[in-house]
Structure 1
Amino acid sequence: MRPADKLRAVRVLRTAGLLDLRHPALTARSSLAMRRLGPIAGAAHISARRNPDDLALVDELGELSYGDLDRRANALARGWAAAGAEPGQVIGVLCRDHRGVVDSMIACGKLGVRLVLLNTGFSRVQLADVACREGVSALVHDEEFDELLSAVPATVRRFVAWGSSSELEALIAANDDGPLDLPRQQAGMVLLTGGTTGTPKGAPRQVRSPLMAAQFLDRVPLRRGDTVFIAAPTFHGTGLTQFIMTLALGSTIVLRRRFDARATLEGIARHRATALIVVPTMLQRILASEPERYDTSSLRVIMSAGALLPTDLGNRTMAAFGPVLHNLYGSTECAVATVAMPEDWQAAPGTAGLPPVGCQVRLYDDADRPISKPAATGRIFVGNGLSFAGYSGGGHKDMIDGLLSTGDLGHFDTAGRLFVDGRDDDMIVSGGENVFPIEVENLVEAMPGVAEVASLGVADEEFGQRLRLYVVLEDGSTLDSSAIRNHVRENLARFKVPREVVFLDELPRTATGKVYRPHLEGRTQHER
């Protein structure tokens, strides 16, 4: 960070309640803990020493304080060590969101082993491939995933976290929960890419400076004392980053094993949640679950990330909950790029917002030349202290001038706000013109009677390529394909009109809420 950015970052952290410069010795010890333990265990360690009796976690089994989390992780780390786990080894975690996944993440940092967060939507082959590539020596898993583990070598030790019995709870109960020495060095963790095609790639992370937290807290105003309902899965960057932020602030985290829209609304009301962390498909389901029937007045922040937020969905969220929407744009590889705060969305619906402190966002053309003209589309590149250093299996994202490609195309408006036009590889050329599917999807999704929309590019004799739209209708809707194509024809250029419209009961999605496009191909039988 530049000196000016460091000063601004310090102010952001002080405002959030994460940094207290009146106690320099405590600040120095906290910095050491973060460097040695890593961001998850470091954040939990610091909060346990500041306020051990404060409420840390609420899940379906009850409540745990920060002191409870610290002691449980100490005991679990000792249990794993007795079972043969050593610093430098790798533990994979395949769990839904509950205290077992929290215990495991913190214990990995305390023991100095590398943490690999595994997607609960994996196939058997994907899980086996990732476990082999990342060198996983032990797996923590929920009992429901036993069958997935059948392709993983028997030499990989298993620990059940949730099921008819919990080996994690047995280890915690059987071992000393007293303080542990800090490990010699941080082992780091591996986040996995979305994996909508093939085996997900591993993106290793090591975070050593607490100042990096300012890149989230600058434009997502979480504060000490908040209650944060994390609906997005914690194995994914969206849920994980805000989980770490909440731990570091010493605030309360609310988790549920499975997402349920009505249960989420009930949880917000019951726990007086001040923040809600979601992916866009969760927002869609929440808005379809009569949110007006629940008391959600405590919410100050709804943070949506993990996929592009359709403009109509963002507008309906603001109408239902008020000016609380924060639309974060980033990726597994670069973490955060921009955030649209409520005032940004109100001024420019659909925007991904502005870069927070310490982040740079630039656009480049196909010749790697920077683009600065408003409304001109280019490839999006990001620079910050949170970007990864390369995939664990080898390879890297494209880089220009030290900035990392997100793989997306976008443009700036005259106020410098970023708009994401779609994936670089999603763009199609129709009749010699570039077509960005998101523009058509947003237009159709805003039609009365439409619930969700996705698209694919397909071959076309006249235009070379055209879009095929996949549409999920709201109950009772009588829209047909002609009405949808006519609506696009009346509002956009002719070459953007979809060649066909396919109606589905639901869109196929990954565990993180992204549309799983390979499962869309070939679905043409339900056009009407």
Structure 2
Amino acid sequence: MEGPIVSTLEHLHAVLRMHQIGIVNLLRPDRLLKAAGNNAKLGPQAALTEKAATEHPNAPALTDERGTWTYRQFFERSNALAHALRKVDLPPKSVIGVLARDHRGLALAITGTARAGLRLAMLNTGLAKSQLAEVIKRENVRFLMYDSEFADVVTEIPDDIPRYLSWADDDYQRPAGLLTVEELTAAEPITVPLPVPEKPGGFIILTSGTTGLPKGAPRTKVSPLASALIADRIDFPRQGTAVFASPLFHSTGFGAWTVGLSLANHAVLLRRFGAENILAAIAEHRAHMLVAVPTMLNRILALGPDVIAKYDTSSLKTVFLAGSALAPELSTRFQDVFGDVLYNVYGSTEVAVASVAKPAELRKSPGTVGKPPVTVHVALYDSEDRKITAVGEKGRIFVRTGIPFEGYTDGRHKQVIDGHMATGDQGHFDADGLLYIDGRDDDMIISGGENVYPQEVENLLAERADVMDAAVIGVDDADFGTRLRAFIVASEDSARDPQEIREFVRAGLARYKVPRDVIFVDELPRNATGKLLRRELPTGPV
């Protein structure tokens, strides 16, 4: 009985945390029951939008470069899109695809498809033509919305798939007959309710695709406790403002935005990344939160103190950070400038949030990803599937959460041990119970018989003032089997001396971790969520 009792206590704790944070109000059980019922049939995004429109109709819901919508306006337009989608006469739970950056069109696609009882596939804006066509076919997409800037990318999509523009740039020359989502919904009723679906259509989030074609990770039914899992260890505003630089089509932005809906927050959506634009948005909207990826922090700091000082960012209390590894040096340097505001989130599309490092934890132990939130358990296992409990001992990271993974849309699944699912990462715990990520299982390099995780070398290189970004991979070597190759994005004042780089690494790490090749590049290949695409780095002779 211990398992069920523990689970029940955890769920009660999660509900209490949701009440404390402001996600639910246990003193208003009528609203709680209605919201829970809507969540079970519509999914969280549509249900929470309706709840906010009822309780805070005139509060700002979202702002993009074309203005601001209140929650009432957002809900009414979502309802209109749902009416339009119902008229397309698609079978229940048909898959709608959306290829869009962060703006009102994407937010409408997420909530409108849910209200219509359809499933939404959020497509990665970094996909090539052939990749997009393959994903569209694999996920059986029946209807497509896309931004005009991706008009060339969608040219290999079958002609029998209806398509509309989720966003049209002002200078875009539209082909005859191609309508925008606004035009599609213009004649639809905004207040006439639709029948509530019996079951939610759900959504599909694509994995990062760092090792190949992104896999589809479906979520049909999301636990009402999911918001607690995300917000437990993070300081979210309550009817405040969050600036989104991280894309909503991926787990980081999507999860943070969903929690924000539950708190009736104002989402400021940035279509394209610009370091100074982020600071300007924080200052203009007095934002409490920024949702970003680590590489963006480097770009912001690279603006220099004079540019940063132009913007009043004193309202900023939380930087919700996820998507790729946060170098210890970057963590400290950013908090030295902006205060103790960083929340380093570790997770994945499959497991959601596994752990969160709070600002004080990052001050004390830069590089940590912190501790698991409520209802989450993290365990380490060795190569023989035996549990590791020793402090400092590295192992494979497995996570058990209250948001069970449904398996990929191609039928594959992750390894599961004792109810914990593999993340594909290696890590260890320190004496305080803080988790550290040592590297990806498939990134490990065996050079001269020694195991090397690139992240350790990359973190050391990031400590140099003249290194803006760094990546380390393994390449074939006649003597050692594999040797290390470092790619470095250097600052303008860098000497760009490969031998100096090698000596720097040799002074801080074991000899076998020193890169034999050092290559200076203008930028590293990263996807929209900031993850390094190692497969795109050249491995041939230099």
TM over 0.5: yes
Equivalent position of 1:276 in the other structure:
290
Equivalent position of 2:391 in the other structure:
374
Q: What amino acid maps onto 1:56 in structure 2?
A: A
Bigger shift: residues 423-432 or 486-495? 423-432
Q: What amino acid maps onto 2:372 in structure 1?
A: P
Q: 2:188 aligns with which of 155, 160, 175?
A: 175
Report deviation, 1:62: 0.5
Deviations 1:63-118 (A, max 9, x none): 10111111001111111222333421110000111101111110011000000000
- CA distance in 2 between counterparts of 1:412 and 1:428 reads 22
In the TM superposition, what are the counterparts of 1:207-226 in structure 2 within 5 Å?
Answer: 207-226=221-240
Q: Does residue 14 of structure 1 match 2:14?
A: no
Q: 2:201 aligns with which of 168, 187, 193?
A: 187
Deviations 1:169-206 (A, max 9, x none): 11222111122221111111000011123321000013
The TM-score, its normalising length taken from structure 1, stands at 0.97
- CA distance in 2 between counterparts of 1:339 and 1:211 reads 17
Q: How many equivalent pairs are there?
A: 525
Residues 364, 371 of structure 1: 8 Å contact kept: yes
Equivalent position of 2:145 in the other structure:
140
- CA distance in 1 between counterparts of 2:528 and 2:510 reads 35
Q: Does residue 89 of structure 1 match 2:62?
A: no
Q: Does residue 3 of structure 1 match 2:8?
A: yes
Residues 335, 387 of structure 1: 8 Å contact kept: no
Report deviation, 1:489: 0.8
Q: Does residue 406 of structure 1 match 2:423?
A: yes
Q: Does residue 73 of structure 1 match 2:78?
A: yes
Q: Does residue 115 of structure 1 match 2:120?
A: yes
Residues 229, 273 of structure 1: 8 Å contact kept: yes
Q: What amino acid maps onto 1:172 in structure 2?
A: T
For residue 164 of structure 2, give the secondary structure of its aligned residue in structure 1: strand
Bigger shift: residues 191-200 or 254-263? 191-200
Q: What amino acid maps onto 1:133 in structure 2?
A: R
Bigger shift: residues 204-213 or 251-260? 204-213
Report deviation, 1:223: 3.2
Bigger shift: residues 44-53 or 328-337? 44-53
- CA distance in 1 between counterparts of 2:222 and 2:497 reads 54
Residues 96, 120 of structure 1: 8 Å contact kept: yes
Structure 2: runs of 5+ lacking an equivalent: 1-5
Deviations 1:393-434 (A, max 9, x none): 111111111111000000000111000000001111223222
Q: Does residue 38 of structure 1 match 2:43?
A: yes
- CA distance in 2 between counterparts of 1:67 and 1:207 reads 26
Q: Does residue 262 of structure 1 match 2:276?
A: yes
Report deviation, 1:40: 1.3
Equivalent position of 1:442 in the other structure:
459
In the TM superposition, what are the counterparts of 1:144-163 in structure 2 within 5 Å?
Answer: 144-163=149-168
Q: Does residue 497 of structure 1 match 2:510?
A: no
Residues 31, 209 of structure 1: 8 Å contact kept: no
Equivalent position of 1:316 in the other structure:
333
Equivalent position of 2:445 in the other structure:
428
- CA distance in 2 between counterparts of 1:222 and 1:60 reads 24
For residue 425 of structure 1, give the secondary structure of its aligned residue in structure 2: helix
- CA distance in 2 between counterparts of 1:169 and 1:267 reads 25
Q: What amino acid maps onto 1:389 in structure 2?
A: E
Bigger shift: residues 6-15 or 356-365? 6-15
Report deviation, 1:523: 6.7
Equivalent position of 1:129 in the other structure:
134
Structure 1: runs of 5+ lacking an equivalent: none
Q: 2:322 aligns with which of 305, 308, 320?
A: 305
Report deviation, 1:3: 2.3
The TM-score, its normalising length taken from structure 2, stands at 0.94
Equivalent position of 2:525 in the other structure:
508
- CA distance in 2 between counterparts of 1:466 and 1:355 reads 36
Q: What amino acid maps onto 2:510 in structure 1?
A: A
Q: What amino acid maps onto 1:210 in structure 2?
A: P
Q: 1:459 aligns with which of 451, 468, 476?
A: 476
Equivalent position of 1:104 in the other structure:
109
Report deviation, 1:515: 1.6
Residues 110, 120 of structure 2: 8 Å contact kept: yes
Report deviation, 1:438: 0.7
In the TM superposition, what are the counterparts of 1:287-298 in structure 2 within 5 Å?
Answer: 287-290=301-304, 291-298=308-315
Residues 233, 239 of structure 1: 8 Å contact kept: yes
Deviations 1:479-500 (A, max 9, x none): 4110110011111111111111
Equivalent position of 2:408 in the other structure:
391
Q: What amino acid maps onto 1:493 in structure 2?
A: A
Residues 470, 503 of structure 1: 8 Å contact kept: yes
